[in-house]
Each structure stands twice: as structure tokens, then as C-alpha cells.
Structure 1
Amino acid sequence: MHAAWVLPLLVLVTLASITWLYVRGDLNPILCDGPCGPQFVTAPVGLEPASPDPARAASVGSGPITAGELEAAVAGPLRSDALGGRTSLVALDARDGTVLADESDGAHVPASTTKVLTAVGALAELGPDATFTTSVVRDGSRLVLVGGGDPYLSDVRTKGSPVERADLATLAAATAKQVGDQQVSLGYDVSLFSGPSVSPAWEDGYVGAVVAPVSPLWIDRGRVGAARSTDPAGDAARRFAELLRARGVDVTGEPQQAEVPADATRVAAVRSARLSRIVEQFLADSDNEVAEVLLRQAAIAAGEPGSFAGGAKVVSQVLRQAGVTTEGLVLYDGSGLSRKNRIAARTLAETMVEVAATPRLGSVLSGLPVGGFSGTLENRYDRAGDARGRIRAKTGTLTGVHSLAGVVTLSGGRPVAFALMADDTEQVNPFETQAALDRVTVAMADCACGAR
């Protein structure tokens, strides 16, 4: 090969390699210090806005939606027997809250759509840039591990994770550097949260199987293999003692629960990811433990006890202050595990309008799973045609309960906030109910509403 061609060829190969790695996402850890947020990700084919057809743009979605137009589009799918005996749909123009469809039947058991309200409460009270600190303080010859309510505190740092930014191994290394080989005892402080760590409104068998007792101190969200720890704070403290000993600190005895005295000296600390990233992740994954921690963090930020009751009170206040309808709202937790929770479809739909209009709440919208592409909707909408990728929604599922709340983009480009809830489906195959809900939202996405 002629020498004059070598350098240009190397440049082309390098550029092609960089482009390939960028599209694959392999450069994310360099560009974004972890997986890039939604605003930096190249949209999948189904999410890319189609090139506008001038003729279609002139006739579809450009005018006001007439009364009953969207209701007519979903009338057939809403009559499906698979939705059971009680269903509600409320759809609002996401830009101004105009009612486009209202087929509501009071407040429903919301299941995990409750997490939308929890996220809004936390962001409203704390702000998207809030972080949570796990620290170690010294009180004489005793070290105390202080839980700061970091929901994603991990055992060891997870490389590339946008949310697991603080870990016990790093904290132990920083502590050992200050303490050396001195002999110390170890305590752990979980006084940040108050009230019961397990909701009395949860069903028997939940704790240890689908949720851990709520604590401001745990590692890996209280998970132990496929199960959950029943003593997440104690387990975290015992693991921290192991990590300290491995670094030469002479830790005596077993860790004991203790409260930090006012004159204790901080030795080391690690800080969580920003709340905006935490919200995006926990909504996409529908994480129960994270939801309960954030409910308490919202309560504490508002000056209320860090408890189930304190968090529920603050979330209700945040919604009312935003002008969201709270009629019939009853909250016993932040995750939606309780069957005693009640939320009206209008409350969820109006909340999504508020989210769309408020930059402080933006991570709620960006964290919603995308139909056919991500989170709890990744394996749904595979036969939705052009609607695939135009439905973003939080799912909610318990036995006999199915719901969706989010934003759907109509075929003409109009964003519509909606909530669709069914809580009387015990006698129906859950996959049939799920498919029936999806057909309703696809009918909205396909609606030629606003045609001139």
C-alpha cells in the first residue's frame, strides 16, 4: 500500500470504530460517567419521529380534538371482557390539561402506579440534584455507621451504574485510612427513619419475598440472592465490619445498633447518585424498596416523620399544592404493595400533566418505561405497529389489579397524559388483561384526533 494512503485510511478506520462503539453504547462510561441518560441516547428505530407527511400533517392532529373524539377511538377496546368488571380511563391534553376522555369509576387499587406519586413527592421536596450520604463517625473507641437513606448503597462499586455510586467497600477503605490498626467497636445508626419498618397494610409473606423491611441503611436494596434480608441494617453493619477487618482495623465483637452522639466526629462518608437518576432507575425497574426509602426522604425534607404515614401526608400535600385532584386518595405506602391504597385515574392523569409541565419533575417522565423498548414495558407492544415506542407509562400489577399511567403520543404528534386502571380482574388470565390494556393505549396512539 502506498504510504500516502496509510494515514487517511487509519483515520477512516478510527472514526468508523468510534462511531460503532458510540452507537453500541460502549463509550457511555467515558462520555456520561456511566450509562447515558435518555437525553443522550440515540433513539431506537421505533422511537424516532417519522418524517412528516405534508398531506397527513395538514389533516391529522393539527386541529383541536372535538368532544368525544378520543373516547370514540377507545370505546371498542374499553369494552373488552378481559378488563374485568371495573375500569377507569382518564386522558388529558398533556400541554394544558384539557379533558379528552373521561371514563372513570372512582378510586382504584393502584398497585405500582403509586410509585409515580412517590417520585413526584420526593422530587418536589428534595429537588432533582439531592443526594444522600452514608457516613462513619467516631465516638471514643467506637465507630458508628450512620444510615443516610441511600436506596442504592451497594456492597462494592458497580462499574458504569448511574445509581450505585456509593458503596461500603469504598467507605471502609476511607475509614481504615483514618483509623489504621486501632482497636474499635462498631455500631450502626438507623434513627433517620421512624415508625414501623414493615407496613401493617402489606400482605403476609411479602417481607423477605418481595420487599425488605424499610431502613435508611442497607446494601444492594436488602437483597440476599433472590430473596430479601429481614435485617438489612444489621447485615450491612456486619458486612462493613468484615471490610474494615480486611483492611487491618481491629473491630471487636458484633456490631450493635446505636445512635450517634452530638459530639461525634465524622471519619469518612460516601454520597449517592443524584435523585433525578435514582427516580429514573426505580421507575423503570418498579423497585419497591427504593420507593419506600424515597417516601420517607420526602417526609423528612418536609419536616414530617420519616415514616409511612409521614410520607403519605407529604405526597398528598404536594399534589394538592400543584392543583392535582386528590379526591379518594388513600396511601399506606410508597410502592403500591398495599391493597388498601386508593388512587383515582384523574389523580394520576393530572399528575402526569404536572410532570410534563414542571422541569423539576422531569426525571419522572424520562424514567417511565417505553412501550416495546425499556423497563417493565420492554416485552409489551411488540405488535403495536406505529404505536410502538410512542407510549411511556408506569405499570401497576397485583393479583386482579392492572394499571398504566403515563403519556401517549397520538399519531399527529399530540402528547396525551393518561391513566388506565382495572382492579376487578381476578377471574381473568392476567396476560389477557395486560393485552387488553395495551390495546386501549394503542387505540389512543393510533387516533387520528384533531383531523381537519
Structure 2
Amino acid sequence: MRAMPAPPPSTAARRRFWPLACALLALSVLVAATFAVPAVVAELRPAWQHAQDGPGAGAPGASSAEDASEREAHGADDAAASPDPAAAGLAAASGTVDAAGVTEALDAGLTGAPGTVAAAVAVAGEDTVVAGRSQERPMVPASNQKVLTALALAATVDPYERLETTAVRGDQPRELVLVAGGDTLLAPGEGRADAVNGHAGLGTLAERTAQALRQDDPDAAASGQWTVELDTDLFAGPELNPAWEGEDIAAGEITRVAPVALYSHRVPTADGADPGSRGERPEDPAAAVAREFARQLEQRLGSGASVTVGGTASAPEDAVELARVESAPVSEQSAYMLAHSDNSLAETLARVAAVASGREGSVTGVQELIPAALAEHGIDTGGLRAVDASGMAQQDRVSATTLARAVDTLVTDPRYGPYGRGLPVAGAEGTLSERFDDPAEAAARGVTRAKTGTLLDVVALSGYVQRADGSVLVYSLVLNGVSGGTTRAKDTVDRTVAALAGSG
């Protein structure tokens, strides 16, 4: 026999239940609002603590293959998540911000600032600037231009996308074509799964290629001459932006932009290691890759085979792939670009994004991409001049409001979480590792992420800061016409961000 359903609760019982249910629901909403601090901000303190554990810990320069694999598995779900915890937390915290207190902190921090100042401060997740100074004035952004590049990249390339470098068969019997796919952080030897710069290696690609050739025909692989051609069709137009100063090119601050390179367009050390940001620039970055791949492949084919480098050639449309290597996720390359203010990487990734958007991978394609990406997100482009992606062009112009809005979009749009987390932590990572070192600046250490910008007479800082009450402010501080060195200007903006962190 089927059991009879339980009788419904009495009317009086229901009247007692609903007030209790409503109270519990209200409490749960309050708890969620309190603890739903944005995911990107919640990582500020852990990243700061990890940095204390040892050199490079928690920095964007390191990558876990296992973590990357797990992120890839959940990438689609993360991108589609709604409502976004970050946005919910920012919205919940926004009501606690007193505009007058923020304005007072901004004015106090910028007192006596050198040069011409533009500043914008807003509550994260909101469009309105709550405090500012000449915030709509077009300014030279220096490397803060990379914030716009990161947003354009985020808007066009999936954060877990990997850039491929591929070896395929050419049109001729003993011809190979090395196809450049935009990865300019290649190592000359074996790739390192725990690295971003050097994640994929030419030695790894050569070994896989040699195995494929031996599998097809062991005798042919081990004897005779092979030729390697190079396909760089991914990018087009001039490799150097005409707006870049010759002295900056000569000094190695920027160089020819290629769709494939070693260690971000640097010459490896004698033992094949990353030479760092002061390493020499190769005369032809892509050709250097082709030569190194040929050398590595010849070693692996054996003494009876020789491998020479031909010229540039397009891979056949129906080319047979022999082997490939893949970069770290593009969002990790973006984080590396932001943390180390890597000019060449910024230009490369911008061209990759231009291609992904359907534009040409060229100077012109980048100049079209950046304003289009801003406009797509409803960000005002008044006065904007996006001449390059790195900020090396003195003709770049952007307002503090535009920079602040770009930061806000990166850290609050649920699709861009991995990109938003790429900004380095103050006092711990990248170009911010030695900033915020004075007592008046200490309040911002570990609680702000930002992108630096420095030229001879320009200092800029754009990012976001979490205040003690959990609310989050996004900001952009840009100083032009700085004279007598940049130390005082850097101290000014650092002090201002610290004041914002402690604002009431």
C-alpha cells in the first residue's frame, strides 16, 4: 500500500515559518555580500604572502602544468559563470565608499606632484569617477598603454588559448616548414612546464620532429640533407613601428616584432638560459629561431643527416604536420607582459589579438584593435591615440578615465578573470617589487595590483586597491612633463595609492 502524504502544516505553523525563512535568507545574502570580495582582489594577500616564501613564488613568471591543465578543463565554465562572484562582491562593497573621503585622500597624495597630473578614481564595478584631477585630459601613458593591450587581448583571445609552433612537411620531398604561431617566449632547448618564458622549447620540437621523420622513413631521416623554411605569414607589414625612436631601438628597449622568437626577442645565454630584460636583441628574431631549430634537429637526426635553413615560405595548405609545441596559456603570457613590462611581448600579443579579431597582424591592425576593444566595452575613447601596444611611442595619448575604466573591465568582467589577475602585486612582483618601500607608502603593499609606466619624463600607475573595509577602488595616476628624474614622481603616485587604501 502506498503511504499517505503527510498532512500540510497548519496555517499558524506556516505563519511562524515564513518570518524565520525570510530572516535566514536575509542573513545568507548579508554573509555572501560580506565575503564575496572579488576573486582577483582576494588573491592580493595570498600572492603577497607567497612572495615572502622565496624568490619568484607566486609570481606571474611561474606556471604549473597541472594547474594550467585544470584551468583549461574549467575554462569554459569559468567564462560562462553568472552571476560573477567578483562583480557581486564589488557591487556589495560599493555602497561603503565616501566620495568626499576618496577625494581628500587623492588631493593629499598628489600635493606637490611634479609635472602635469591627470588622475581618476572610481569604485570597482561602477562607471562614475568619484574623484579625479584633469581625468579627461589625453596624456602620454608610457607602459600603462599595456593595460589597453591586455584588455584588447582579453576581448579577443580565450585566456586558456595556447600559441603553437609547428613543424610541417613542405612542397619538396626533404623540405620542412617551421610555422610561426605567435609564441615569442620559446626556449632554445627543452621546454619547461613550470615556466611562462621558455614554456615551449625548440629542442622539444626538434625531438618530436625527428621521431616523426624516423617513423615515416628511418633511412631517409638519418641521411642526406634537409632544408627548413620559415613561415611567418601570421604577421604582416613593417616589423618596426615608425613611431618608435631610433635610440630606443638601438638601446634594445624595443626591436623588430616577429611571430616567433626566443625569450621574448632576446639572445639566449651561452648555456641556453633566459638572459633577462638586459639580454641582447637578435638582428633577426625569427631567423634566429629557424637556425636554432635546424641545429637542434640535425643533432637528433644523427651524423648522417644535415639540416640547413632556407628562406621564408608559406606552408602548403594541405601540409602534413610532423610535430608541435605549445606556449603557456595566453593569459599567463599577458601576466608576464604586465609584470615585467615587456615591450616586445606586448607588441607580439597585440598582433596575435588583431589576427584573432579578423584584422591584419600588423602595426595598423593593432592601431585599429585597441580603440575598437575599448568602444566595445563602452569605454570612452575621446582623445585616444593608440599608436602602439607597448607605450614606447611618444605619440600615444589616453586619459586617466579611460585607463581606470580599462582596469575596471579587466577585473570585473567575469570572462576576463585570468587576465585581470595578471596585474602584479605592489611590493612583491615584477616592476612593483621594489615600489611602495617608504613608510608613507606601506599601506598599499600587498593590497594593490597595478601596471607601472615610466619614460624619461613620464610616470604612470593604473590598477586597483582594496581598502580595509573590503571595498575596491580602481585608479589611474599619470604624470607628464616630469623633470629631474622620476624618483619623486614614483614616490608621489605610490603615496597617493597608499592614501586611497586608507581613505574613509
Which category describes the TM-score, using the shorter chain as reference length? 0.7 to 0.9
Structure 1 counterpart of 2:111: 79
Partners of 1:376 and 1:435 lie apart in 2 by 14
The question of 1:218 aligning with 2:261 is answered yes
Aligned pair count reads 403
SS in 2 for 1:77: helix
Shift of 1:366: 1.4
Q: 1:430 aligns with which of 482, 486, 489?
A: 486
Shift of 1:297: 0.9
Partners of 2:408 and 2:301 lie apart in 1 by 55
Q: Which amino acid aligns with 1:207?
A: I
Structure 2 counterpart of 1:145: 178
Shift of 1:159: 5.6
Partners of 2:371 and 2:177 lie apart in 1 by 35
SS in 2 for 1:270: strand
Partners of 2:196 and 2:347 lie apart in 1 by 20
Instruction: Pick the structure with greater CA Rg.
Output: 2
Root-mean-square deviation (CA, aligned residues, Å) is 2.7
Partners of 1:252 and 1:236 lie apart in 2 by 14
The aligned runs of 1:44-443 (5 Å cut-off) are 64-81=96-113, 83-84=114-115, 86-104=116-134, 106-139=137-170, 140-156=173-189, 157-158=191-192, 160-179=194-213, 180-182=221-223, 183-207=225-249, 209-224=252-267, 225=275, 226-248=279-301, 250-382=305-437, 383=439, 384-425=441-482, 427-443=483-499
Partners of 1:108 and 1:330 lie apart in 2 by 10
Return closer, same or farther for 1:339/1:440 CA change in 2, 3 Å cut-off: same
Instruction: Describe the superposition over 1:127-146 as per-residue Cα deviations: whole angstroms up to 9, x where unpaired.
Output: 11111110011122211111
Q: Which amino acid aligns with 1:438?
A: D
Partners of 1:423 and 1:24 lie apart in 2 by 36
SS in 2 for 1:114: helix
Instruction: Describe the superposition over 1:111-158 as per-residue Cα deviations: whole angstroms up to 9, x where unpaired.
Output: 111111111111211111111110011122211111110132221223
The answer to whether the 8 Å contact 2:97/2:123 transfers is no
Instruction: Describe the superposition over 1:20-71 as per-residue Cα deviations: whole angstroms up to 9, x where unpaired.
Output: 9x9669999x99437999x9xxxxxxxxxxxxxxxxxxxxx89544443311
The answer to whether the 8 Å contact 1:210/1:227 transfers is no
Partners of 1:301 and 1:62 lie apart in 2 by 35
Return closer, same or farther for 1:153/1:26 CA change in 2, 3 Å cut-off: closer
Instruction: Describe the superposition over 1:88-132 as per-residue Cα deviations: whole angstroms up to 9, x where unpaired.
Output: 110010022332102125111111111111111112111111111
Question: Structure 1: 5+ residue runs without aligned partners?
Answer: 1-19, 40-60
Could you tell me the TM-score, scaled by structure 1's length? 0.83
Instruction: Describe the superposition over 1:264-283 as per-residue Cα deviations: whole angstroms up to 9, x where unpaired.
Output: 22111111111121112211
Partners of 2:94 and 2:148 lie apart in 1 by 32
The answer to whether the 8 Å contact 1:241/1:255 transfers is no
Return closer, same or farther for 1:35/1:340 CA change in 2, 3 Å cut-off: farther
The answer to whether the 8 Å contact 2:226/2:308 transfers is no
Partners of 2:63 and 2:157 lie apart in 1 by 27
Identity of counterpart residues, as a percentage?
A: 34
Shift of 1:165: 2.3
The answer to whether the 8 Å contact 1:90/1:346 transfers is yes
Partners of 1:274 and 1:313 lie apart in 2 by 24
Could you tell me the TM-score, scaled by structure 2's length? 0.75
